[in-house]
């Protein structure tokens, strides 16, 4: 985790991560002060009328049952400091990331789903009391923000991963291989960085796989994960629309019963969530959907649907998802009966438009088309990303050469004419089954190879990381320092470095042994890392020497950083049981000058200044003289 935190600090330093801006950033910084008051925060909030309105709305909705709130001060008094900060961050991240360069990332769908999940989570938190409802709202709103972060940091590479349409658990492996992190890990780090409760950062990384979350049932952590898991599922179906909701309704009713919600309670909660989702979407300017009443959708469920969809035939080892498309109901009824009797699951569309939509929604493995516009359907089907590899059987009006050529040219894999026999249909479906099965096996093998490649890539990145890391201190090593300095030298004209040496380190080894000496090295490394700026790099350069790389730092800034390091070490003795060792460091500082031809000259200047610091009494900072090069 320490390695990831180091990587995360580098990502933060890049300035490309989603982050609060404007008034929200000012609020975030103010709330980190121990003595800040709500009146100070209110004064800052009033500078942003849009945020003021959203916070007033939040107070009225999230604190329902209290008197109506009309002023910023009243809203903040009701919400409290933590909730105000979190809501400001959430609204700011949303406002600043409505669109971006990642072509395969649907920014508006992401925020619409996140908002729906936030509303459902807040409502369930009010029932379960595992956290403050307003904090639960913000936590759920940002519970998948790592996806947005990857889309922002790596728009092209992440678009390639999203375009592969792989399951989310495999997607995380690919993310690890490409970026050394994944969206779940990034989400947790961002929530921690924005000072949301630690429980929220933990839940963000575990709510997708509830069974594998590792939390004990009955704990607040498990309760929050459970809420976010349910809210995420329901939000996904709300965004997808009525058909997706209806298909998942039996599962939702089962999950609701586990919450001790009967059908009426579930209907009331869901309808209220949709209403709030639509209201919030207008305020936050994200899309939502017009949906029927949940009672109507439940009433529309066919009571005998499980029996009529056809149970898998025990003699059929590989049942298929088959879509039937036709505009003659009698013919469709016969087809449905015969295909179901073979043990396959069947879905039906009765016109061209519905057939294409059903193909998108249900992802069939085999399609049988008896539409009068069959050629048009076949061509359109092959244009869909999900339709390129579907096995397609097309009915034609006559078994003529012209009809056959037209059907196959449009994309059919097999053709049939009417009247047909049940055995002929079964044979055609069996041929399609063999094709689909072979394709699934090839895809599985290909996926296995990709997983091996991804795992090798992760291993290679870890090996590369290890080669750049000093094993004793955990800091980047000399090799990293040289490469980083070379990069910064090309990137910027304003660059400084510090050469840092532990004073009288040899006496530590001589008096206390090399084991204590190693612990002192680690102790100093932790102090320096804690005192560094976000954009800086502290490296172990060799022995008791450290090199600090300070991008965008002039001589004055470099001296300030050096003095901060020196003071931090001097005020932090090494303790072990009864042993106390007072430690100091000498530091040589150097800044890039026009006369320097390479970064090696910068290191040499810092090293010369370090020698002067040692020579003049140690425990001090010396800036390289201009004449040095």
Name the pairing type of β-strands 366-370 and 321-326.
parallel
CA distance 363 to 366: 9
Closest CA to 49 of 281, 283, 275: 283
Query: How distant, in Å, are the alpha carbons of 240, 307, 325 from that of 346?
Result: 21, 12, 11
Q: What domains appear along the chain, each with residue ranges and CATH number? A: 14-96 (no CATH), 101-301 (1.10.3210.10), 305-440 (3.40.50.2300), 478-623 (3.30.70.270)
- pLDDT of res. 311: 42
CA distance 499 to 609: 8
- pLDDT of res. 514: 92
CA distance 504 to 95: 54
Please give the structure tokens belonging to residue 601.
């000259």
DSSP string over 580-592: EE---EEEEEEE-
For 32, counting Cβ atoms within 10 Å of its Cβ (0-12 exposed, 13-18 middle, 19+ buried), the class is exposed
DSSP-derived letter for residue 317 is S
- pLDDT of res. 159: 86
CA distance 270 to 448: 40
- pLDDT of res. 310: 42
- Phi then psi for residue 297, to 5 deg, are -65, -35
CA 424, chain centre distance (Å): 49
DSSP string over 557-584: HHHHHHHHHHHHHHT--EEETTEEE---
Provide, for the chain, the percentages of residues in helix, strand and coil under a 3-state DSSP scheme, each rounded to the nearest 5.
60, 10, 30
- Do 220 and 131 contact (CB within 8 A), yes or no? yes
Please give the structure tokens belonging to residue 216.
């004990």
Reported as a single tens digit per residue, the pLDDT across 71-107 is 778 877 877 777 777 777 878 888 788 888 888 889 8
- pLDDT of res. 592: 92
Reported as a single tens digit per residue, the pLDDT across 116-166 is 998 898 888 888 888 887 778 888 888 888 898 898 888 888 888 887 676
| H helix intervals, 241-351 | 242-258, 263-284, 294-299, 305-308, 329-341
The three-state (H, E, C) secondary structure of 180-213, written as one string: CCCHHHHHHHHHHHCCCCHHHHHHHCCCCCCCCC
- pLDDT of res. 1: 44
| Dihedral of alpha carbons 234, 237, 241, 242, sign | negative
For 437, counting Cβ atoms within 10 Å of its Cβ (0-12 exposed, 13-18 middle, 19+ buried), the class is middle
- Phi then psi for residue 322, to 5 deg, are -115, 135
Catalytic-residue membership of 383: no
Which helix (H) or strand (E) covers residue 495, if one does? strand 495-502
572's CB contacts (< 8 A; 6+ apart) are 523, 527, 583
**Residues of the chain with confidence (pLDDT) below 70:** 1-15, 23, 32, 61-67, 164, 166-167, 169-170, 206-214, 302-317, 454, 627-629
Scanning the structure block, which residue is given the tokens 């079964």? 426
CA distance 526 to 531: 9
Name the pairing type of β-strands 537-542 and 545-551.
antiparallel
- pLDDT of res. 157: 85
| Dihedral of alpha carbons 479, 481, 487, 493, sign | negative
Out of 441, 544, 545, 577, pick the active-site residue.
Answer: 544
- pLDDT of res. 309: 40
In the chain, the largest separation of any two C-alpha atoms, in whole Å, equals 104
- pLDDT of res. 13: 64
CA distance 151 to 140: 19
- pLDDT of res. 143: 86
- pLDDT of res. 314: 34
- Do 139 and 85 contact (CB within 8 A), yes or no? no
CA distance 412 to 325: 14
pTM of structure = 0.52
- pLDDT of res. 516: 92
- pLDDT of res. 554: 93
């Amino acid at each position: 985790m320490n390695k990831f935190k180091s990587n995360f600090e580098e990502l933060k330093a890049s300035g490309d991560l989603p982050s609060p801006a404007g008034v929200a950033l000012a609020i975030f910084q103010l709330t980190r002060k121990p003595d800040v008051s709500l009146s100070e925060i209110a004064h800052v909030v009033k500078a942003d009328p849009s945020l003021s309105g959203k916070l007033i709305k939040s107070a009225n909705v999230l604190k329902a049952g209290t008197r109506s709130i009309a002023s910023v001060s009243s809203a903040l008094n009701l919400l409290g400091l933590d909730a105000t900060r979190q809501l400001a961050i959430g609204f700011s991240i949303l406002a600043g990331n409505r669109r971006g360069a990642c072509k395969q990332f649907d920014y508006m769908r992401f925020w619409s789903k996140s908002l729906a999940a936030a509303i459902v989570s807040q409502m369930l938190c009010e029932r379960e009391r595992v956290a403050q409802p307003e904090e639960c709202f913000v936590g759920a709103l940002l519970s998948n923000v790592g996806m947005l972060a990857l889309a922002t940091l790596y728009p092209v590479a992440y678009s390639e991963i999203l375009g592969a349409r792989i399951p989310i658990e495999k997607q995380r492996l690919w993310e690890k291989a490409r970026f050394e992190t994944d969206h779940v890990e990034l989400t947790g780090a961002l929530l921690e960085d924005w000072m949301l409760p630690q429980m929220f950062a933990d839940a963000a990384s575990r709510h997708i796989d509830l069974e594998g979350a590792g939390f004990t049932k009955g704990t607040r952590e498990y309760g929050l994960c459970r809420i976010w898991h349910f809210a995420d599922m329901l939000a996904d179906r709300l965004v997808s629309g009525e058909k997706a909701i209806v298909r998942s309704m039996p599962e939702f009713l089962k999950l609701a019963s586990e919450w001790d919600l009967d059908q009426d309670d579930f209907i009331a909660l869901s309808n209220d969530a949709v209403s709030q989702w639509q209201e919030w979407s207008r305020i936050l300017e994200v899309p939502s959907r017009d949906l029927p009443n949940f009672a109507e959708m439940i009433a529309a469920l066919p009571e005998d649907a499980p029996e009529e969809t056809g149970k898998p035939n025990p003699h059929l080892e590989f049942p298929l998802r088959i879509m039937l498309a036709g505009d003659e109901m009698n013919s469709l009824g016969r087809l449905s009966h015969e295909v179901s009797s073979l043990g396959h699951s069947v879905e039906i569309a009765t016109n061209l438009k519905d057939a294409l939509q059903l193909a998108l929604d249900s992802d069939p493995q085999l399609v049988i088309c008896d539409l009068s516009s069959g050629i048009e359907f076949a061509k359109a089907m092959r244009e869909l990303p999900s339709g390129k590899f579907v096995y397609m059987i097309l009915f034609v009006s006559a078994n003529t050469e012209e009809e056959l050529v037209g059907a196959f040219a449009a994309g059919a894999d097999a053709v049939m004419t009417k009247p047909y026999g049940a055995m002929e249909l079964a044979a055609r479906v069996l041929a399609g089954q063999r094709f689909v099965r072979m394709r699934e096996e090839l895809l599985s093998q290909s996926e296995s190879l990709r997983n091996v490649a991804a795992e090798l890539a992760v291993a290679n990145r870890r090996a590369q990381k290890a080669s750049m890391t000093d094993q004793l201190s955990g800091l980047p090593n000399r090799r990293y320092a040289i490469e980083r300095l070379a990069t910064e030298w090309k990137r910027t004209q304003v660059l400084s470095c510090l050469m840092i040496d532990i004073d009288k380190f040899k006496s530590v080894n001589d008096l206390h042994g090399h084991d204590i000496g190693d612990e002192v090295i680690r102790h100093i490394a932790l102090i320096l890392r804690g005192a560094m700026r976000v954009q800086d790099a502290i490296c172990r350069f060799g022995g008791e020497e450290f090199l600090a790389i300070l991008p965008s730092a002039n001589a004055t800034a470099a001296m300030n950083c050096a003095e901060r390091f020196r003071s931090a070490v001097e005020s932090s003795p090494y303790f072990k049981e009864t042993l106390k060792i007072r430690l100091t460091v000498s530091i040589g500082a150097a800044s890039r000058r026009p006369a320097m031809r390479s970064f090696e000259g910068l290191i040499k200047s810092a090293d010369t200044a370090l020698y002067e610091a040692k020579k003049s009494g140690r425990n001090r900072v010396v800036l390289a003289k201009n004449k040095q090069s």
